[in-house]
Amino acid sequence: MCTMLSTRVNDGLTAFADNVKNIFINFHWTDLVDIIILAVLFYFVFRFFSSRKAGTLLIGILISVVLYVIADPEILNLSGVRVLLSGIFENGALVFIIIFHTEIRDLLESIGSGSLKSIRTIGDTAHRKQLQYKAIDNICKAVHVMSAEKTGALIVICRTTQLDDDVINSGITINADVSDYLLRNLFYNKAPLHDGAVIIEGNRIKAAACILPLPKHTQVHNELGTRHRAAIGLSEVSDAVIIIVSEETGVISVAKESELKRDFTEDSLRKFLAKELISDKYLHDNN
C-alpha cells in the first residue's frame, strides 16, 4: 500500500510539474496583459465595496446563495425558501444593478476620473502638489480660527467621485481660489452664505451654501447636529472628505466613507488631509 501511495504521489507531482512547464512554454505577452487588467479591476472592486455599505449587501447576497444551496431537496428540502430565492436569482443581473446602481456608477466614475486625472497631470505633478498643500494649509488655518471662535462650518473636499449636480446647484457658484480669509467670511454667522456647505474641487472653492443629503444607511448619534448628519450622508455616496466645525463646542470633526472622526487639531487635520489628498510620500515628509 505504501508503495502504491508513493507511486501516486510521484505521478501527481510529475503531472503538476508538466502542467506548470506547459504554462510557461505557452505563455504569451497577451496573457500577462490579461492578468494585469484583471488584477487592477479586482483591486478597484474590492477596495470600493470593502469601504462602503455595499460590502454589507454583498455579504447578504453570499448568505442568500448559501441558503439556496442548503434548501436543496437532497439537503434540508426547504421548498419555500428555494422557490423564493430561485425567483430572485433568475433575474440576478437586474437585481444586482438595481441594488448597486449608485455604487456601480461611483466605481466607474472613480476609475475613469482617476485615469483621466493621471493623464492630465503628467508634467506638472510638482506644481499641482504645491497647490494642494497651499489649499490644505489655508483650510486648516481657517478651520482653526473658526474652531476657536465656535463658528459652525461644513467644508466638502472632493476627490475622485463627482458630486451630484443637485448638490452643486443647491448652492451659489463661487469659483475662487481657496483662501483662509474667504472661508472664514463665507461661514461668518451674519454672512448670507454661512448656512450650508462649501464645496472645494480642484483646489478651488466651487460653491457655497450647498445642501447635502442626510444619511440613509449609517446610524448617527442623537447628540450630533445637522452639519454632522449632512457630512455623514454625503460620505455615504461619495469619497469626499468633509470637515465639520461644531457651532456649540468648536470641535473639529471629519467624515469619510460613512465614518466620523472627531477632536482634530490644526496640526492633526493638516496631516490627515495631506495623507488623504496627496499621494506623494516626499511631500508628506516636508509637511
166, pLDDT greater than 90: no
User: Rounded mean pLDDT of the chain?
Assistant: 78
One-letter identity of residue 14: T
One-letter identity of residue 228: H
Q: Averaging pLDDT over each range in 25-34, 93-102, 108-117, 222-231, which range is the top one?
A: 222-231
Nearest to 156 by CA among 205, 190, 194: 205
Neighbours of 2 (CB within 10 A): 6
Confidence of residue 262 (pLDDT cuts 50, 70, 90): very high
Q: Averaging pLDDT over each range in 18-27, 42-51, 82-91, 195-204, which range is the top one?
A: 195-204
DSSP 212: P
**pLDDT average, residue stretch 46-55:** 56
Query: What is each CA distance from 39 to 111, 118, 232, in whole angstroms?
Result: 14, 19, 31
50, pLDDT greater than 80: no
Instruction: Find cell 494649509 and name the residue.
Output: 137
Confidence of residue 17 (pLDDT cuts 50, 70, 90): low
pLDDT one-digit tens code per residue, 69-102: 777 777 777 777 777 777 766 666 676 666 666 6
Confidence of residue 172 (pLDDT cuts 50, 70, 90): very high
Query: Could you please report the per-residue DSSP string of 50-116?
Result: HTSTHHHHHHHHHHHHHHHHHTSTTTT--HHHHHHHHHHHHTHHHHHHHHTHHHHHHHHHHHHHHHH
Is residue 104 classed exposed, middle or buried when 0-12, 13-18 and 19+ CB atoms within 10 A define those classes? middle
Please tell me the predicted confidence (pLDDT) of residue 252: 96
Q: Averaging pLDDT over each range in 41-55, 74-88, 170-184, which range is the top one?
A: 170-184
User: By the 8 A CB rule, do 35 and 28 touch?
Assistant: no
68, pLDDT greater than 80: no
Is residue 43 classed exposed, middle or buried when 0-12, 13-18 and 19+ CB atoms within 10 A define those classes? exposed
What is the reported pTM?
0.58
Please tell me the predicted confidence (pLDDT) of residue 103: 60
**pLDDT average, residue stretch 209-216:** 88
Please tell me the predicted confidence (pLDDT) of residue 92: 64
Ranges of each domain in the chain:
2-120, 125-285
Neighbours of 253 (CB within 10 A): 21
**pLDDT average, residue stretch 139-154:** 95
Class assignment of domain 125-285? alpha beta
Please tell me the predicted confidence (pLDDT) of residue 121: 46
User: Which residues, other chains included, contact 129 with Cβ-Cβ below 8 Å and sequence gap of 6+?
Assistant: 278, 280, 283
